[in-house]
A = this chain, B = another copy of it.
Amino acid sequence: MTVIRVPDGSPFGHDNLPYGVFSRPGEAPRAGVRLGDSVVDLAILLGDDVFAASSLNPFLAQGRARWTEVRARIGELVAGDVPDQAVHPVAQVELHLPVEVADYVDFYASEHHASNLGRLFRPDSEPLMPNWKHLPVGYHGRAGTVVVSGTDIVRPCGQRKAPDETAPTYGPSRRLDIEAELGFVVGTGSPLGSRIGVGEFDEHVFGAVLVNDWSARDLQAWEYVPLGPHLGKSFATSISPWVVPMDALAAARVPLPGQDPEPLPYLRGGQWGLDIDLAVEWNGEVVARPPYREMYWSPAQMLAHLTVNGASARTGDLFASGTISGPEKEQRGAFIELTWGGREPVVVKGEERTFLADGDEVTITATAPGANGGRIGFGEVTGTIRPAAGD
C-alpha cells in the first residue's frame, strides 16, 4: 500500500481530484483521477469496471448523484493507504482524450472578444451585432477533430483572400491563431423536445476543461459569411486531459459582471461566473492572462440557450465559452486581438511576432480558488504547430 504525497502548493490537491483517461505502455486506456503528481487507477481503487472504459462517458452517464458519491469516496480513499498497483507517476503514463465528444458547440460569450473581433472583421459596422446582448451566440464545431493536449497541430490549407486581392488563392494558412477558452462537459443529457433550464445546470454538467480552439483567421474571414466559421476552425480543437469536476469549482463561483438589458426569462437565474485565471504561453513566455470572471454570458445560460429549442443533449456533449478576453490588452485570449489583426506585434523571446509560425508551441494553463483556501489547477492544453501537409 502507498500513501500519495501531494507536494506543497500543488494545484492537484485533495480539493481538486480531476478525472482523466490514461494508459501505461502496452496497455489499454482507462480512467484515473489525479492527485499531486500521481494518477490513481479508478477501476482498481473503486473496484468498478465502469472506470475500465477508454473514456469517461459510461461514468458520466450515471448522473449527478453518482458523481457526488464517487467523488466523496475517492476523497476518503486517497487520504489513506492506496494499493500500489493503483498509483502511477503522471510522467509515466500517456494521457488520452478524456471524453468521447458527442456534439461540440462553441459560444462567443466574452463581450471584450466579440467587440474586438467585430472591429477587426467588420471595421465599418457596429462591433457587436444587435442580437449579442440578448442571447449567447454560438455555433456547432467539428466533434471529430477535438483532440487531447499534446497532439501536434498541422497547419491547415485552404482558401484565403486578403481584402486587396481580387480572387482567393489556395495554400497554408498565413494567419494561424489560438483561442483560449473554457469548455464544459455534459454528463447526462436531455431528450428531444425538452429543455435544460438555467437552474438545472448542476444536474447535467459534470466538469470543465481548458480548450484551445485553433483558428485560421484568413480561411475564416473569407468563408464565414453567411453560415459562420467552418474550415477555419474544423482542423483541430485541443482540450486539456483533466476534467475538473464542477464540484471542485464551487469556491470559484462569482457573480457575472452584469447583464444589460436584462435577458429574457429563460436566461434569468444561473447568472454565476467562475473566477478562473488563465495564462497563455507562446514558446514558454506568458503573453496573455485572460480572466474567466469577465465573461458576459454564464455557463448555465449557454446550456439553457442550447436546449431551449428542444434540441436533445447527450453524454459527452462539449460546449465551450468562446475566447476569453478581459478589458485589458494583456488579457486577450487570441493573437488576432493581442496583435490587433497583426498590426501591433508582440515580443516573444525577443522577437516581434503576430501569428503562429511552424514549430511554435502554445500552452494554456489555468487555476481557480479551491475549497481549502488554495488554488486548484486545470493542468494545461498544449500544442505545437507542424508544417502544412504537402499535396
Residues of A with Cβ closer than 8 Å to B?
Answer: 102-103, 105, 108, 118, 121-122, 129, 131, 134-135, 137-145, 147, 151, 154, 156-159, 161, 167-170, 189, 192-195, 216, 219, 222-232, 234-236, 261, 264-266, 305-306, 308-314, 317, 386, 389
Tell me the bound Cα distance from A122 to B227 in angstroms.
Answer: 13
Tell me whether B193 and A389 are in contact (CB under 8 A). yes
Tell me whether A308 and B231 are in contact (CB under 8 A). yes
Tell me the bound Cα distance from A161 to B133 in angstroms.
Answer: 13
Tell me the bound Cα distance from A170 to B313 in angstroms.
Answer: 21
User: 17 more A-B contacts (CB under 8 A) besides A131-B161, A158-B309?
Assistant: A102-B144, A103-B142, A103-B144, A105-B230, A131-B223, A134-B159, A139-B139, A139-B229, A142-B311, A145-B192, A194-B389, A224-B227, A226-B228, A231-B311, A234-B306, A234-B311, A235-B309
Residues of chain B with a CB closer than 8 A to A102's CB: 143-144
One complex includes copies of this chain to the number of: 2
Secondary structure dominating the interface of A:
loop
Residues of chain B with a CB closer than 8 A to A159's CB: 131, 134-135, 264
Residues of chain B with a CB closer than 8 A to A216's CB: 309
A9 to chain B, nearest CB (A): 37
A364 to chain B, nearest CB (A): 20
Q: Which 3 A/B pairs are nearest by Cβ-Cβ distance? A: A228-B228, A156-B309, A140-B140
Q: A142-B103, A143-B103, A264-B170 are in contact. Are A154 and B192 (CB under 8 A)?
A: yes
**Contact check: which of B121, B154, B170, B313 meets A266 at CB < 8 Å?**
B170
Tell me the bound Cα distance from A158 to B310 in angstroms.
Answer: 9
**Contact check: which of B108, B157, B167, B261 meets A309 at CB < 8 Å?**
B157
Tell me the bound Cα distance from A159 to B168 in angstroms.
Answer: 36
Tell me the bound Cα distance from A167 to B368 in angstroms.
Answer: 37
Residues of chain B with a CB closer than 8 A to A266's CB: 170
Tell me whether A193 and B154 are in contact (CB under 8 A). yes
Tell me the bound Cα distance from A329 to B208 in angstroms.
Answer: 49
Tell me whether A309 and B234 are in contact (CB under 8 A). yes
Considering only CB atoms, which chain B residue lies closest to A224 in the complex?
B226
Considering only CB atoms, which chain B residue lies closest to A141 in the complex?
B140
Tell me whether A309 and B227 are in contact (CB under 8 A). no
Q: A168-B264, A222-B131 are in contact. Are A144 and B312 (CB under 8 A)?
A: yes
A244 to chain B, nearest CB (A): 24
Tell me the bound Cα distance from A157 to B305 in angstroms.
Answer: 10
Tell me whether A139 and B230 are in contact (CB under 8 A). yes
A389 to chain B, nearest CB (A): 6
Residues of chain B with a CB closer than 8 A to A158's CB: 308-309
